[in-house]
Structure 1
Amino acid sequence: MAYSPTTWALLTFSFVWLLLKVVRKPKHPEYPPSPKKPWPIIRNVPHVPTSRPWLTYTAWGKEHNNKPLHLEALGQHMIILNNVDDAIELMEKRSSIYSDKPDMPLMTLMGLDFNATFLRYGNIWREHRKAFQLGFRKEMIGTYHPIIELETNKFLRRLIAHPKDLKEHCQFFPASIVMSIVYGHELESSEDPILVTTKRAIQLGNPTIMTGALLMITFPVLLNIPRWLPGGGFHDVAARSRKAISEMIEMPYAIVKDRMQNGVDKPSLVQDLLEKQEAKGVDDESVLKNVAGSAFGAGVDTTDCALGTLFLALSLHPEVQKRARSEIASVTGMTRLPVFNDRPSLPYVEAICRELRRWRPEAPAGVPRATSQDDIYQGYFIPKGSMIFFNTWGMTHNPDIYPDPEEFKPERFLNTDGSLNDDDCHLTFGFGRRICPGRYLASDIVWLAAVRIIATLELSDPKDPATGESIDLDKHQYSNETLSHPPRFICTIKSTEYADNLLRSEEE
């Protein structure tokens, strides 16, 4: 293929610029140590992990005493944090420097730029965060407890009636809660058009379905590959993603607007935010749509991950179920279902929920940050624009903090007297100004699901539905995604001797 003189000039200029950038002697302290010796010119390009990066980061951390690590690839600096103290120091105590996000054109191409998770730090992000806080700050979550309790009981009945549809139930349950809270819309079945669209948007909007997604995020120049060249098929995937995500945002929002225009009052987060805007004389729906879509899409996917891990952990560990059920019985007498007011009296159940987040964090590699200015840490230079990866997996699987990290042991969060210790494993929700704003709602949903599942159901024998093999996590691995899902499995679900009476008493 012949290139024009202009193209050759640009290529030559780019090569010379990169060469000078790489070989020029820096006038600053040295970077943190590199886990791999950089190659000439391209530096660490061959070393950037593209599959389950959290495992590679953890292995590198063990080799370097969990110190901050540095990679450089085509001029992009990457800092990897495996130590929770480093993450707290940089992203909480120095949050003014470490709260930005890298420019990720792939996310824009896929239509994911509506999500505050990927927004650059600044006024637009602050507007989204403020709207999110109005609906999901800690003081508000109690108003959603009746919805969570109602949907949890429906969830239990679906599990008892159709135990083989476990995965579908784990998707429908959080969707029904978040849809009711955010849009005031009740999902009647898994065939609801909004839910179908949402599932499609979540599937298509996952960057890992694209070959080389991590490389495209790290090196946006790869997005210039033409559609017709090998490797350019991601353009079609991105177009489908944009369409599905747009529908996911617009469909339920339109339902709320239609109700309000027709004088139908059905409380929801979107209605509340719209009424507040109208009272202030503001007419800007873009933030509201984005916040609502983010809350729904992310809330469903992350809670689905957590619920899958809950069922897997409990079915693998009958002794955990037995101990937790005994604790529940000591509080409720098994004459009623546990309620949120029982939570302080159930430390072992709380420890189970903490251990779920530690054992299999939903986002094991975290979501990368970016530095907004140069910084010096531990004598090392961290340049402006560096991508900061906080390796949640490495932090929650550090054997010096969590002995036998691959074992599921809720008791690691208890003192010798059975009370909860001070480790709430909050790091799995992120750090600093970009900590997950939906963490209080997510925590309450998973806690109530866990405590009522343990009270009413006995879980055992997790199997691969395709082969019938018992689940072995060395073979049946969690997915290679930003939000890492459990392997698909089924398990034996039996009602406890208390289940019928407990659920019947709740109805009465």
Structure 2
Amino acid sequence: MSDSLTSWLAIFSLLWVLTRIIRKPSQHPYPPSPKRTWPIIGNALQIPFTRPWLTFADWGRAQDNEIMHLSALGQHIIILNDAQDVVELLEKRSATYSDRPRMPLLEQMGSFNSFNAGILPYGDLWRQHRKTFQQGFRKEVVGRYHTLVTDKARNMLQRIISQPEEFKEHYEVFAGSIILSIMYGYEMDSTKDPVFQAAKRAITLSNPEALLASLAVSTIPVILNVPKWFPGGGFHDLLDEFNKALAVMVDIPYNMVKGRMQDGAQEKPSFVQEMLERQTERGLTENDVLKNVAATGLAAGVDTINCVMLNLTLALALFPEVQERARKDISLAIGDRLPTLEDKLTIPYIEAVCLELHRWAPAVPGGLPHASIRDDIYKGYLIPKGSIMIPNIWGMVRNPDIYPEPDQFRPERFLNADGTLSDDNRCWTFGFGRRVCAGRHLASDAFWLATAYMLTALNISDPIDPTTGVKITPANVYFTNELISHPQPYTCTIKPINGASDLGEGSSVNN
């Protein structure tokens, strides 16, 4: 790089930073900062990029979970550790806080402007994606998928009983087969499926620290101009690989549906086919919205369901008393058969297990960031336009003042004294306000049924760290540094209880 180019980049970066720092004075202060703020760079060197939700939660406890303010080269960041603040801002004031921050690195990954509705900016394109998705996944219509979800859950259980040591692969097949079947009428029965492999590769490349890295780049976007050959420019190769995997994941199953429709094949109806038929009936021109909505559902659904299932298995292995209580409640409520989704209200303890799992190990512990579209005043503090809003879910659900002994897995937290569900039944993992996950109703049904099957038919024990051979305990559990945070690698013992080996229609188990 020439000296003149280096000089111009330095001048550009300095001017860009100064324009972000200089703003009209306000009579309202920013929320307090947990760390000393330095001139120009602010807190840029103090912001953690390794499981930041833990540090944010610690800062919050030190300040009684007060709303906090950080700055990084003029970029304002607001940390929310308290559920009340999250509800007040991201939900009750959703017109102000439904945007997403610019994520330049993810833009380069094809996600921002054309693919992932979850990180699209708030506006007309996002509304088109949201409206399209909701047509097939509103609470009122997801019941039509219950038979399919039941078949996939039963298949998963049979696979686990036959090959318990491969439970991680069975969870991936469970998650992938549900989403691919519903979205595209595409059947997979192995993790070696090429479409699933492409989706998994795209997810792997975009998940680990990609969001955090993108937020870092957003403070100094000139980083993206670093050429491939320059030190630190190796991320260009990863971007190229990601975009190739993304193209396979987005285009191939979508084109399969179109090909079946052109051939007149109707044996595999799907969400994509239904939406395409509606577009044809209305005389609408095909665009990329439907294709991207379907791919977003695939990417988000596969990784999230798989992560939650791994978290569940680890929790049940660590807390065997939960399995014992669940089997007793299931037996008292419905006898010795497998539960169905129609049994949800009859067995509140299963729902309590699901709620506690989302509290104990939230799949997205750091929350997806929102952005403010205008200046706002909250609790006497100024929240500037363009602030990155971090709803720290980990800080919310691991607050010991609300959930005593938060490291313990206790579904009873969500039950009243008479065994009914309490009013504390919100799953924060699905997000907030207008940005709440549009597929949450289907995901909740699939997870509830899988949980019910496992609690009824399996006994899970002895979680072991395969690297060290050390038994995992609640005190040494850790979760990975990813947007969707997975549990540490582990093995465990899974055995069917008496009578669970035969899972034909109308099968029963003996507790």
- Taking structure 2 as the reference length, the TM-score comes to 0.95
Q: Which amino acid aligns with 2:329?
A: E
For the residues of structure 2 that align with 1:373 and 1:25, how far apart are their CA atoms? 14
Residue by residue over 1:77-132, the C-alpha shift from the partner in whole angstroms, topping out at 9 and shown as x without a partner, is 11111111111111111111100111111111122221001100000000000011
The answer to whether the Cα contact below 8 Å between 1:308 and 1:485 also exists between their aligned partners in 2 is: yes
Percent identity reads: 50
Task: List alignment gaps of at least 5 residues for structure 1.
Answer: none
The answer to whether the Cα contact below 8 Å between 2:307 and 2:363 also exists between their aligned partners in 1 is: yes
Within 5 Å, which residues of 2 pair with 1:130-145? 130-145=131-146
Change (3 A) 1:212 1:430: closer
Residue by residue over 1:259-283, the C-alpha shift from the partner in whole angstroms, topping out at 9 and shown as x without a partner, is 1000011211000110111111112
Pairing 1:402–2:407 present: no
For the residues of structure 1 that align with 2:20 and 2:248, how far apart are their CA atoms? 44
How far residue 472 of structure 1 moved from its aligned partner, in angstroms, is: 3.9
Pairing 1:447–2:484 present: no
Q: Which amino acid aligns with 1:274?
A: L
Change (3 A) 1:33 1:163: same
Q: Which amino acid aligns with 1:111?
A: G
Within 5 Å, which residues of 2 pair with 1:83-482? 83-113=82-112, 114-208=115-209, 212=213, 214-265=215-266, 266-334=268-336, 336-472=337-473, 475=476, 477-482=478-483
Change (3 A) 1:375 1:458: same
Residue by residue over 1:232-269, the C-alpha shift from the partner in whole angstroms, topping out at 9 and shown as x without a partner, is 11111111011101110111111111110000112110
For the residues of structure 2 that align with 1:478 and 1:44, how far apart are their CA atoms? 25
Residue by residue over 1:434-469, the C-alpha shift from the partner in whole angstroms, topping out at 9 and shown as x without a partner, is 001111111111100011111111111111234432
For the residues of structure 2 that align with 1:52 and 1:460, how far apart are their CA atoms? 27
For the residues of structure 2 that align with 1:138 and 1:213, how far apart are their CA atoms? 33
**Corresponding residue SS for 2:76:** strand
**Corresponding residue SS for 1:366:** coil
Change (3 A) 1:278 1:25: closer
How far residue 23 of structure 1 moved from its aligned partner, in angstroms, is: 7.0
Task: List alignment gaps of at least 5 residues for structure 2.
Answer: none
2:10 maps to which residue? 11
The answer to whether the Cα contact below 8 Å between 1:456 and 1:502 also exists between their aligned partners in 2 is: no
For the residues of structure 2 that align with 1:145 and 1:286, how far apart are their CA atoms? 28
How far residue 207 of structure 1 moved from its aligned partner, in angstroms, is: 4.8
The answer to whether the Cα contact below 8 Å between 2:407 and 2:475 also exists between their aligned partners in 1 is: no
For the residues of structure 2 that align with 1:340 and 1:128, how far apart are their CA atoms? 29
- Aligned residues, how many? 505
For the residues of structure 2 that align with 1:34 and 1:212, how far apart are their CA atoms? 22
For the residues of structure 2 that align with 1:492 and 1:14, how far apart are their CA atoms? 55
For the residues of structure 2 that align with 1:447 and 1:414, how far apart are their CA atoms? 16
1:31 maps to which residue? 30
For the residues of structure 1 that align with 2:176 and 2:97, how far apart are their CA atoms? 32
2:61 maps to which residue? 62
Higher helix proportion (structure 1 or 2): 1
How far residue 182 of structure 1 moved from its aligned partner, in angstroms, is: 0.6
Q: Which amino acid aligns with 1:195?
A: F
How far residue 68 of structure 1 moved from its aligned partner, in angstroms, is: 1.0
Change (3 A) 1:506 1:234: same
Q: Which amino acid aligns with 1:106?
A: L
For the residues of structure 1 that align with 2:212 and 2:366, how far apart are their CA atoms? 18
**Corresponding residue SS for 2:28:** coil
The answer to whether the Cα contact below 8 Å between 1:112 and 1:205 also exists between their aligned partners in 2 is: no
Residue by residue over 1:302-344, the C-alpha shift from the partner in whole angstroms, topping out at 9 and shown as x without a partner, is 011110011011111111001100111112210x211111110
Q: Which amino acid aligns with 2:34?
A: P
For the residues of structure 2 that align with 1:357 and 1:64, how far apart are their CA atoms? 25
Q: Which amino acid aligns with 1:298?
A: A
**Corresponding residue SS for 2:25:** coil
Change (3 A) 1:135 1:455: same
- The worse-fitting range, judged by mean Cα deviation, of 291-300 and 6-15 is 6-15
- The worse-fitting range, judged by mean Cα deviation, of 210-219 and 91-100 is 210-219
For the residues of structure 1 that align with 2:246 and 2:82, how far apart are their CA atoms? 35
For the residues of structure 2 that align with 1:124 and 1:20, how far apart are their CA atoms? 29
For the residues of structure 2 that align with 1:454 and 1:24, how far apart are their CA atoms? 57
- The worse-fitting range, judged by mean Cα deviation, of 20-29 and 251-260 is 20-29
For the residues of structure 2 that align with 1:224 and 1:144, how far apart are their CA atoms? 46
**Corresponding residue SS for 2:382:** strand
Change (3 A) 1:467 1:7: closer
Change (3 A) 1:270 1:21: closer
**Corresponding residue SS for 2:389:** strand
Q: Which amino acid aligns with 1:258?
A: G
* CA root-mean-square deviation: 1.9
Change (3 A) 1:504 1:470: farther
Q: Which amino acid aligns with 2:116?
A: N
Q: Which amino acid aligns with 1:318?
A: P
